């Protein structure tokens, strides 16, 4: 059974997402820090976007860059990395006025991991405007089922190159 994803606004400029994973923190952390794993879930097929390249240098001060078709890209810098416990990075693609900070914490209990992600925007306006990326998922959401079947079928496959 799928665990539930909850989203709550903590304030006008901060959103909190929580989700439990049925695996130890080090496993979930690994899926957030290895590019070949991250790219498999960060861009659901339902977003209808193709990832051309992803670079992730997961250490304090290290940079990341995800490049999509049609010139779209996400990039920023890791500001905190605590193995199996916490990652913080900046989202710099929107320029200074829209730059948000993402904080992800991994809290293990009884072999399961509670993941809490916070996205803190510099202003209410920046948060409201950020709905754009989510728009892409709206109409093509049904494609998700297809992808899950596909991923399930290719389980145990070796790392896919970026």
Partner 1 sequence: MVHYTNTRLDASFAALSDVTRRGVLEQLGRSEFSITDLAAKFDMTLTGMKKHVDVLEYAGLVTTEKIGRVRTCKLGPRRLEEEVAWIGKYRELWAARFDELDKVVGELQRKERTNARKKGR
Residues that bind partner 1 (CB under 8 A): 2-3, 5-12, 15-19, 21-23, 27-28, 30-31, 37, 40-42, 44, 46-47, 114-117, 128, 131, 133-135, 137-138, 141, 144, 147-148, 151-152, 155-156
Tokens 């001060």 belong to residue? 61
Tokens 């909190």 belong to residue? 16
Q: Which is nearer to partner 1, 9 or 59 (CB)?
A: 9
Q: How far is the CB of 115 from partner 1 (least distance, A)?
A: 8
Tokens 């994803």 belong to residue? 5
Category of 141 on φ-ψ map: left (φ > 0), alpha (ψ -120 to 50) or beta: alpha
Q: Which is nearer to partner 1, 31 or 67 (CB)?
A: 31
User: SS3 sequence, 109-156?
Assistant: ECCEEEEEEEEECCCHHHHHHCHHHHHHHHCCCCHHHHHHHHHHHCCC
Q: How far is the CB of 51 from partner 1 (least distance, A)?
A: 13
Q: How far is the CB of 93 from partner 1 (least distance, A)?
A: 16
Q: How far is the CB of 44 from partner 1 (least distance, A)?
A: 4
């Amino acid at each position: 059974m799928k665990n539930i994803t909850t989203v709550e606004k903590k304030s006008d400029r901060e959103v909190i997402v929580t989700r439990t994973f049925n695996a130890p923190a080090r496993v979930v952390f690994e899926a957030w820090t290895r590019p070949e794993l991250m790219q498999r879930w960060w861009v659901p097929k339902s977003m209808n976007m193709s990832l051309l390249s992803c670079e992730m240098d997961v250490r304090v001060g290290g940079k990341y860059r995800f490049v999509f078709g049609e010139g779209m890209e996400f990039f920023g810098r890791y500001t905190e990395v605590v193995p199996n416990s916490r990652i913080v990075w900046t989202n710099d693609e929107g320029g200074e006025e829209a730059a948000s900070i993402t904080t992800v914490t991994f809290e293990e209990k009884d072999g399961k991991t509670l993941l809490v992600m916070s996205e803190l925007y510099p202003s209410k306006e920046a948060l409201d405007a950020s709905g754009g990326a989510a728009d892409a998922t709206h109409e093509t959401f049904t494609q998700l089922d297809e992808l899950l079947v596909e991923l399930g079928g290719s389980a145990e496959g070796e790392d896919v190159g970026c």
